[in-house]
Structures are given as C-alpha cells and as structure tokens.
Structure 1
Amino acid sequence: MFEQLLKASRDVDDASLPPDTPQLLLKAVPDELSLDDVRSLAAEPHDGSDTTTLLWAVYAVLKSNKLGMQHDDDGKYKVAIEEISLQIGQMMEPVCSGAAFDEDITDYPPLSRNGLLGLHILRLLIALIPCGSLVLPSRTLLSVIAFTNRNDPWASGCGAELARSLLSDYFQNASPPQAVKPAPFSNLRSIRDAGAERKPSETVPKTERARFITEDVLTDFLRPMFAKSRPATVTASGRPAAFPEPPPRYGQGQGFGDGEDMINAKPWKYTRQYAVTVFEWAVENTDTDLLQQNWPLYTPILLTLLDESQPTSLKLRSLSIFRSFWKRCPGGLLSRTGLADVFEQAVFPTVLSLPSLTPEAESRALLGAAYPALFDMANVEYSGSVNKESEDEHVGGEGTNDQTARDERGLRSKGFSETQRKLLDKIVREGIMTGYHHAKEHIQLVDFFCQMLRRLVDGMGILSVKYLKDIIPMISEILVDPFGTQHPPTLLSAIHLLQAVLQTCWPRVPHYCNEIIKITMLAWLNIEEDDSISTKEPTKTELKRQLTRTVEVLSAITTAVKLDMADRVRPLVAKDPQLRHLFTSCEAS
C-alpha cells in the first residue's frame, strides 16, 4: 500500500527538513487513508537506516489532506494516535550507537534529522484530538525531552525550541494525575521506595508534570540507569553514606578494566547520553515544593554526574545542573540532611584543574563553572558582570560613620553561617590563592582569579578584611610586573580588585597605605613607558583613569583617619614629575 511512498521517502534529499514537505512525497501518498493504516505504516519492521524513511512517510501522510477523520465513541481513534506516538518516540530516540570508551563515532546528523521529523509528527498528532484528551506514552515524552537542549550533538536550535514548546503545551493541557495511563515501563516504584519519608497525602504530586518527573523520569527511567555508577558518598536512597567506602584503586573510570563493562555501567555517558538532558529538564521544571518532598530522587543522580571528571563538556554541564538544583532547594534542606558537605566535596576538586595537567583553555572553562557553584553554596551573590564601574563613594568625616553603618547592615543581611564562613576561607586559601600561585604564568587565569576575588570581596563585605594579607601582595605582584602591560585586561581586573578592597575594607587600608602608593606609582610608570598598550583594549587612557580613581579613594580614606598622604607622595612627584597627574587628588586635599 505504501510502496510508492516509501520509495519516494528514500529519495528525499538529506538537506530537506520539516516543516517543508517535498512534493514528491505528497504525490505518493495513497488516497483515503485511515489512522489504522498510519499505525501499520509506523509499525513496519525496519533497521536504523530505514528510520528516516519511515518518519518522512508518516509525516507526509499527516501533512496531506487524504487522512480520513472518523471519531468514535469507544476510544479506538485516540488509542490509535497514542500507539502511533509510541512508535514515533521509539524511532526518534537519539541512541548513540557509536559511542565507546575510547571514542565516539556516532553519526549525529541522522539522529538530529529523525528527532526533528518526530517532533513535527507529534505536533500533528496532538492537533488531531481535543486539547487535554491525548495521553502521550512516557517513552515518547522522554524522546521529546532528549531534544530540549540545542547544544547536544543530536539536537538543533529549531528542534529544541519545538520540543520545549510541545512539552509546555502538553503539560499545560494534561489531564489530572489520576486520569493518566501508567507509563510503559516495568513496575513503577513508589516514591517511598526511593527513600523519601512523607505523609500519605504527599505521595501524589499535584500536577501531571510533577507526577511525570517524580515517577516516570526520576524513579523509572533515570534511577535504574545511574544505579551501577552511584558514588560511595551517597546511599541508594539519596542520603549521605554513614561509612562511605573508598573507591577501588583500579576501578571504573580510571582507565582499567573492560571497556564494555564501563559502557554497560554508565549508559548515560555512552549510548544514552540524552539521559543527562532528561535530568537537566527535570531539574529545570522542578519547584521548591517538589524538591522538598522528593529530594532523595535527585541527589544520587546529581552526585554521580558531579563525580565524573571526563569529558570536560559533561563536567561543565553537571556543574550547571547543580547550580539550578541548589537554587531551587529549600533553604537549609541540604545542610540539615548532611548533603551540603557531600556536594562541597564533589564540586571543590574542580577548582584545582590547573595547567599543566589541564590545558589552559579547558582549565578556564572548568574554573568558570566551579567557582560560581561554590559561591552559591557559600551564599555569595555571583554577578555576571565584572567590568562595571565601582560606585563613587568618598570616605571621610561623617561619611565614615555612614560607611560603617552600611557595612554592619550588609554583614547582618548576608547572615553567613559558620559552615559558609569555613567554605569561604577554603575558596580563598585553597582555591583562588592556591590556583594563582600555581598558575601565575598563565595570564588569562590570573585575570580570572582577580575577577573571582573581586566578587568575593564585594559579596562578603567587611568580612573579607581577613584576606588582605594575601590579596594586597597578589595585587602588587600583578600591577608592579614590568611585563604586565602585555595583557591590559589583567591590569584592569587587578585595579578593579584593588578598588573593591579600598571601598569594602577601608578600616584596615591605612595599614597598607605605603604599599598601595607604591603599587599605583609603579603601575602608572609601567603604563606610561609602554607605547604599544595604547593600541590595545583597555587603552592606556582607561588604565590611567582607573589608577587615578584608585588614588582618589585612598586619599579620602587617609583623610578620614587624619593621615597626611600629601607628605608621602610629594617626594615621589618631585623625583618624577609625570606622577603629578596620578596624585593630583592628594595635593588638592
């Protein structure tokens, strides 16, 4: 019946994509078709090479005007559509059959094309019956979710947009949970079996989306897939292990053992990589109430992902998912359950991914994902902008009391716990300072460490004064370096860090007054003597303007504590007149 259509589908150009339908397909669609015919077409036996052909054929039938629309009272019409959608979900599932332990030879363009075809077919099927009455099989929904991230190699921008739109419309119009058919997976386990202790009235999610996430996604699909690779720090029920066993010396993931065993133990990393996308979607569509009731379903999967160090793309994605998860967690939940320490131990080692063991570009990406996650855990606000101008605040006279009051209010409002303060100490001393001293020859990493310290100083407020004995020498080393002008952005980051220190830790700044004068003076002279810097960004004018502004803030601080800064800079200006523009504010005061 469909021989001509299937033949025409095989001849479709690989560059053809829906929603455009090649005319040769529409002409090959038989007349007077029923849904039973479409169901038979979708169920035809095929191998991987015929999947695209079948999808094009089904899509052409649904796009044509030759499909007979006959509604019945016994539900056979709706059942037929649901069975067709199940077949489509199976065909569009992006299984990476070529992924192996040592390399991935999967041909991704056909997976992307099949996914886009399947999404358009499902959109047409949903439109055939009234809103809310169609129940898509869980397996089909999982296949749709697999295409929601456009950065996946089997996905695309238009496919991700269509998948998210389809899911949004479906769950918005979905029937109440009690009217939903069971998922086509093996025995559904209750949430209590997953280790969550709840009242009976809390075992049933309020919405179909919540039911789908907790039962079909987390319990039935993801939990068995991640079971064999769960880290020893957490139990199967999602709670911290009381006596975690040390990992085997030559265990999986260390380059030993049979590669086939590793693939079987971690299908989410090899053949079914889309499981990470499904978990990512589940976290993004979870609210605080749902996490409060079902957090043990999330933690083993998330810790398993964070425990995986390779490939770098997976590590970056795991840290991004963790940030989404942490922001949605009810306040204090992970601390009360003991999981905050477990997550800290899982995230912190990433900040030590430094050259030469880790390439500089890869290290920069990993650090850029790990530090924001640690900032979230330490309750330090992470701002995406690092080049904004510091506020013009003049510290002196009555303004000193105002600044003190602001600092006290800021300290109370931040409310750092003892655990968070210990984490902040660890971030600065074992993270940023260790990383700086280990990789200071990598100028872009130095720039990054300056940006992270600036964020910490701004976020911690007066608490950051304890780190001045480490920060000031670091700033001095960067700005005084005669070769520092070869990378102006790092100089600017160091100057901004110094400005943040002056404005936040001003009560202790007079103790470092001479050192700061020396830093700004030598940096100014280095910039003046380097003619090549004027052609780079930031320009010489911008760097000098920021240094002048730094001296203005320092002058205001010394005036407030009745220190005569003019006496200190006057001999310097007399010896080198080009410093006069740097210390203009000192002479004026």
Structure 2
Amino acid sequence: MFERLLEAARKLEDASLLPDAPELLLPSVPGEFALDDIRSLAIEVLDKSDTTVVLSAIYVALRSNKLGIQLNDDGADNIALEDIALQIGHMMVPVCSGAAFDKDSTDYASLSLNGFLGLHILRLLLTPTSRGGLVIPTRILLSVIAFTNSDDPWASSSCAELARSFLSDYFQNISPPQAAKPVPFPFSRSTRDVGVERKLSEKRPKTEQERFITEDVLTGFLRPLFAKSRPTAVTVSGRPAAFPEPASRYSQGDGFGGADDIAITKPWKYTQRYAVTVFEWAVENADTDLLQEQWPLYTPILLTLLDEPQPISLKLRALSIFRNFWRLCPEGLLSRIGLVDVFEQAVFPTVLNLPSLTPEDESCDLLAAAYPALFDMAGLEASDSALAENEDVKTESTNDRKTSDKRDLHSSGFSEAQRKLLDKLVREGIMVGYHHAKHHIRLVDFFCQTLRRLDIVPMISEVLVDPFGTQYPPILLSATRLLQAVLQTCWPRIPHYCNEIIKIAMLSWLNIEDEDSFPPHKPTKAELKQQLTRTVEILSAVMAAAKLDMSDRVHPLVAQDPQLRSLFTSREAK
C-alpha cells in the first residue's frame, strides 16, 4: 500500500525537512488507510538503511488527513497505536557501531535524523494533553531520554528540545501513583520491563517521575548495563566496600577477549552509549529527598563512570554529572555513609593528567572540570571560568569582591576533612602540576587562576618576573590578579612578604616597559600596568593598616630607575 510513498521517501535528499514541509511527500500518500496499515509499515523495516525511509513515510502518513480515525479517539485501534509507538521507539534508539573508538563506524547523522523523526511521530501519537493519565512504556521513554543532551553526536539541539519538552509534558500530566490507577490507555504497566516493580524502600516516591527514575531507569535499565564493570570500591548495594580488592583485568573485560569482550562488559561505553545520557537525566531530575532515599542506586554507576579514563569526552561528562549529584545530595550524607573518600579517590587522579602523556588541550579541559569538582567537595564555590577569556578590569574587580564575600561567609565552616583536601589540592595537585608542566603556558595560566582563592607567593613570583612572560600577556594578568587575591585574603601575613611583593611588581613592570613588540590582543600593556599599580595600592593599604611605612623601601628604587615612578605614584600620593 505504501510502496509509492516509500519510494518517494528514498529519493528525498534531506528528511529533516519533513517536520516543517510534509507536503514534499503528501502526493505519494495512499487515498485512505487505517492504523493497522501503519503498523504493518512500521514492522517491515528490512535493515538499518531503511529506518529513515520508514520513519519519513510514517510521519507524512500520520500528518495527512487520510487516516481513518482521529489520533485522540478511544476505540479498537488502541492496540495498533501501541504497537506503532513501540516500534518507533525501537527504531529511534541510538545504538552505536563498533567496539573501539578509533574504529567507530557509526553513522551519527542517520541516528540524529531517526531520532528527530521519531520524536515528531511520538508527539503525534502520544500527545499527553489529549491523553491524561496514560502510562507510556519504559522502552519508549528511554528512547526519548537518549536524545535529551545536544552534546551527544546523535542528538541535535532540536532533538534535545523536542525530547525534553515531551518528557516534561508527560510527567506533568501523568497521574501520581498514590491516586486512583489511571485508565490503561493505550498502554498498561504490564508492558514495562520484568522486575522493575521491586520495592526499593519503605517510603515510596511521591511522583510518577520519581518512581520511573528509581524503578525503571536506575534499577531496570542501568543496573544490568553497569553490573559487570562496577568498581571494587563499592558493593553491589552502592555502599563502601569494607575490604576493596584491586580489580582483575580479566573481570573488567580487558582479557583475552579483546575489544569484543570489553564491549560486552561495558555496553554503556560502546554500543549503548546513550545509557550515560539516561543516567545524566536521572541525576538532573532528582532532588534532595530522592537522593536521600535512593542514593545506593546512583553511586555504583557514578563511580564506574568516574573510574573510566578514556575517552576524554566521557571523563568530562562523568565529572559534570558528579558535580550535579554532589550539589543535590543532602548535606553530610556522603560523609555519614563513608563515600566522600571514595569519590575523592575517583576524582583526584584527573588533576594529574598533564603533558606530555596527556596533550595540552585535553589536559586543560580535564583540569578545568576536575578542580571545580574537588573544590565543591572541599566546601568552596569554585569558578567554572578558569580557562575563559579575560574580562575587563572593572567587571573582574566586582566579581572578585563577590567571590571574596562568599569565601569569607564559608571560611569558618570547613571540616577537618575539607581542610585536608584543600591542602592536598595545593600540594599534590596544583604545585605538582605547575612544576611538572611549567613550560605549558596555558596550564600555568590555569593554575594561577585556580590559586586566586588560596595563599601562594613563590609561584606568582616566578611567573611575573619571567622576562618572557610578555610574550603571552594573559598569564601576567592572571598572575597579577592572583597576587591581588593573596593580598586581600592573607593580609595579616603580608608585612612579612612586603619586600618580595615590591620586587615582584617592580620587575614585572620593567619587563612590560622594556617590551617593544607587545602582542596586540588583550590584555594590553596599559591594562597590565594598571593592574600592577592596583596591586601596589593594595599592598600600601595593608602596610598602612599594620602601621608600617613603605617609603623607605620605595624611594631608593624610584631614584635608581625613574621608570618605576608611575608604578609607585599612587602610593606616594597617600
């Protein structure tokens, strides 16, 4: 019946035009047909190459006015409607090809297009506003969730918007489980995966979305996928292992089975990568109460993702998910159950991904994701813009004051464990990273910006007095602002460093003045000099508060080199 429509769909160059222009294929739609005919069309996909063609044909057929019934009517066609929706959900699942990332043969453009068409079809079939109380099968909802993150190569921004809108409408209109059982049209709970009705705790979730997350997503779908790759630091129940043992390389799929063995034990990393997106959605849509009750369902999966070193994109994704999870967790929960150290051991090694073993670009990305996560664990509100472009001086100054205010409000509430983590971050993280990769200018810039919230002077001196620092002005700006943060935060100890700070500002000023071929991009020479002048002003204010005079230290320097007069002019005016 639909042979002509399928042939026209095969000739269509860009099926993504269909949602906006279905008239391209409308002339090929049969005169009249029933849902049974659509169901027959949906189940006759010969191979993956036919998927887009069939989806295009189904979409156009449903959009036409030639269907024998209205899609929002009740009646004998409900079973056919259910079968069609289930088949659409199956066709749009973004299953990837290949078991190795360097040999990935996945056609992501086709997966994205199939998802785009599938989401539009499901919107036509399952409009929540016209079917209040329906229960959509888990398999369909999982297919929709797979497209909620536009960063995935199979999900465009339009796909993500459609998917999130569909889920939001559905869970807003579905009846809560405490109320009367909704009429099973067109689906019933019997279509859900076997075993997902297991009772997880005495206190049941209050909403259908919470029930779906805990039972269908975390227990029914994700737990089996991650079961064979669970880290030994936690038990099956998600609690800290009393006597963790080193994981066997064979048990993790790294034995003689090769790539095929790894793909079997870690399907979430290879063929079913959308499982990470599903877990990410389950974290984003949780709340504090849900995590208080159901945290054991989250922790094994999250630790598995954090322990996976490759690919870099997966590592970055895992760190982002962890930060969301950490922020949503009730305060003190992970400490009470003994998982803080486990998460710290999973995250901290990321800060040692440094050149030359790790390319500089990848290292910058990993460090920019790992340090904020560790600062969250240490009780500091980390800035996520450590590698962003420098902003203008006025805006940065305002932001500095706001950040300083927040830091002061929380400074008295650090636990002993958080203080130890901060110390570890400086000694074993930032300082080790700096000394190991000091020749990589972008990383040095990052370390300076990261250390603006901590007390550090020797590294600042080395950066600012470097005569070649003017070849990359952003690093001088970062180091200068870091020095200002030290002056403002650690002012009681600054008088002991006065001579050293004057020396730093003086040598950096002279290096800038003597540079003839200053790079044209920001920050400019004038901006750098302005920041150094501001640094001297802050130092002068600190010394005045300590009832100490800088004149005896400054006048001999100005007399020796008149170029320094502008640096110390504002101080002398005071």
Same-fold status (TM-score > 0.5): yes
**Which of residues 411, 414, 417 is equivalent to 1:416?**
414
Query: Contact 1:71/1:77 (CA < 8 Å) preserved in 2?
Result: no
- 2:189 is paired with a residue whose SS is coil
**Which of residues 196, 207, 213 in structure 2 aligns to 1:188?**
196
AA paired with 1:499? Q
Where does 1:162-561 land on structure 2 (aligned, <5 Å)? 162-177=162-177, 178-179=181-182, 181-188=189-196, 190-192=198-200, 198=201, 200=202, 202=203, 204-248=204-248, 252=252, 257-384=257-384, 387=391, 388-390=395-397, 410=408, 414-454=412-452, 456-457=453-454, 468=455, 471-533=456-518, 535-561=520-546
Task: State how far apart, in whole Å, the 2-side matches of 1:233 and 1:181 are.
Answer: 36
Offset of 1:7 from its aligned partner?
2.1
Distance 1:72 1:408 in 2: 53
Q: Are residues 129 and 44 of structure 1, via their aligned partners in 2, closer, same or farther at CA, if it must alter by over 3 Å?
A: farther
> Which shows bigger deviation, 75-84 or 234-243?
75-84
Q: Once the 2 structures are TM-superposed, how far is the Cα of residue 411 of structure 1 from its aligned partner?
A: 6.0
**Equivalent in the alignment of 2:556:** 571
Identity of aligned residues (%): 69
List per-residue Cα deviations over 1:389-417 (Å, max 9, x = no partner): 336999xxxxxxxxxxx999936665011
1:7-46 deviation line (CA, Å, top 9, x unaligned): 2222222354331345452122222322222222212242
Summarize deviations over 1:477-498 as a string: whole Å, max 9, x none: 0000101111100000000000
How far the C-alpha of 1:54 sits from its partner, in A, is 1.2
Structure 2: which amino acid aligns with 1:422? K
**Whole-angstrom CA distance in 2 between matches of 1:493 and 1:151:** 30
Instruction: Structure 2: give runs of 5+ residues left out of the alignment.
Output: 183-187
Deviation at 1:205, TM superposition (A): 1.5
Distance across 2 between alignment mates of 1:294 and 1:127 = 31
Aligned residues: 557
Give 1:558 shift: 1.0
Q: In the alignment, does 2:149 pair up with 1:158?
A: no
Letter in 2 for 1:227: A
Distance between the aligned counterparts of 2:84 and 2:93, measured in 1? 14
Alpha-carbon distance between aligned partners in 2 of 1:551 and 1:506, rounded to the nearest angstrom: 13
Tell me: CA distance 1:441–1:73, structure 2 relative to 1, closer, same or farther (3 Å).
closer
**Aligned letter for 1:333?**
L
Distance 1:517 1:149, change over 3 A: same
SS, match of residue 76 in structure 1? coil
Partner of 1:389, secondary structure, is: helix
CA deviations over 1:497-535 (Å, ceiling 9, x no partner): 000011111000000000000000000000000022262
User: In the aligned structure 2, how far is the partner of 1:493 from the partner of 1:72?
Assistant: 61
Relative to structure 1, is the Cα distance of residues 577 and 345 closer, same or farther in structure 2, using a 3 angstrom cutoff? same
Q: Measure how far apart 1:110 and its partner are.
A: 1.0
User: Residue 27 of structure 1 aligns to which amino acid in structure 2?
Assistant: P
Structure 1 residue 169 displacement after superposition: 0.8
Partners of 2:16 and 2:377 in 1: CA distance: 47
Decide whether aligned partners of structure 1 residues 211 and 416 sit closer, same or farther in structure 2, where only a CA change above 3 A counts: same
Give, as a single letter, the amino acid of the residue that structure 1 aligns with 2:415: S
**Structure 1: distance between partners of 2:197 and 2:122:** 28
From the superposition, tell whether residues 72 and 172 of structure 1 become closer, same or farther in structure 2 (CA, over 3 Å).
closer
Are the aligned partners of 1:101 and 1:260 in contact in 2 as well (CA < 8 Å)? no
TM-aligned CA distance change 1:128 to 1:423, over 3 Å? closer
Paired residue type of 2:340? A
Tell me the SS of whatever aligns to 2:457: helix
Within 2, Cα distance between the matches of 1:577 and 1:363? 43
The alpha-carbon distance between structure 1 residues 389 and 409, as it changes in their structure 2 partners (threshold 3 A), is closer
Deviation of 1:109 after TM superposition, in Å, equals 1.1
Give distance in 2, aligned partners of 1:537 and 1:326: 36
- Report the alpha carbon displacement of residue 246 of structure 1 after superposing the two structures with TM: 0.9
2:78 matched to which residue of 1? Answer: 78
Contact 1:82 1:134 in 2 (8 A): no
Higher deviation after alignment, 179-188 or 311-320: 179-188
Change in 2 beyond 3 A, CA 1:561/1:304: same
- Asked whether the 8 Å contact 2:18–2:56 carries over to 1, the reply is no
User: In structure 2, how many angstroms separate the alpha carbons of the residues matched to 1:549 and 1:70?
Assistant: 72
> Which string of whole-angstrom CA distances, capped at 9 and with x for unpartnered residues, describes residues 354-411 of structure 1?
00110000000000000010011111012345654336999xxxxxxxxxxx999936
Aligned to 2:77, the other structure's residue is in SS state helix
Contact 1:21–1:60 under 8 Å retained in 2: no
